[in-house]
Amino acid sequence: MIKEVEEAIMAADNALTHLTAARDKLDSASGWGIFDMLGGGMFTTYVKRSKMKDAQAEMERAQNALMIFNRELEDVQNIEGIDFDVSAFSGMADYVFDHFLVDMFVQGEISDAQDKVEEAIRQVTMLLESLEEKEEALVRESGTGR
């Protein structure tokens, strides 16, 4: 049982790594998005979209890591896994209709993605703490060190 808990902890750490990277990339995209709403122009839109693309890729990696984490959780205990839906950001309208309302809409998408990532980080962190407590208890029960 200790091995399963350790595997779940490693999977949680991996998921947190990708979620944190996604959060950082979304924060960068959000900053560029604000600049774009203030009239940044096509170059700003391009940079923002590039940051959003990077964030999307990292969120997809996070989603894969969370799927592995959910499988590991099933081995450890009957805990419901984390549901993390990665939706693609809207695309060409941001370039074709580069004006404030479209920029606001895109900024809303970024904000929604940030909220999803923050919630996933919160859930994984709580589960990780629970797993670490379980691991400590199992080690104490078995009387063995790590």
Give the highest mean pLDDT range of 22-36, 37-51, 78-92, 130-144.
22-36
Model pTM?
0.82
DSSP state of 145: -
Tokens 């984490």 found at: 69
Average pLDDT over residues 11-33: 94
Distance from C-alpha of 7 to C-alpha of 11, rounded to nearest angstrom: 6
What is the pLDDT, as a whole number, of residue 92?
A: 43
**Predicted confidence (pLDDT) per residue in 125-138, tens digit:** 999 998 999 899 98
DSSP string, 65-113: HHHHHHHHHHHHS---------PPPP-THHHHT-SHHHHHHHHHHHHHH
**Residue 54 scores a pLDDT above 90:** yes
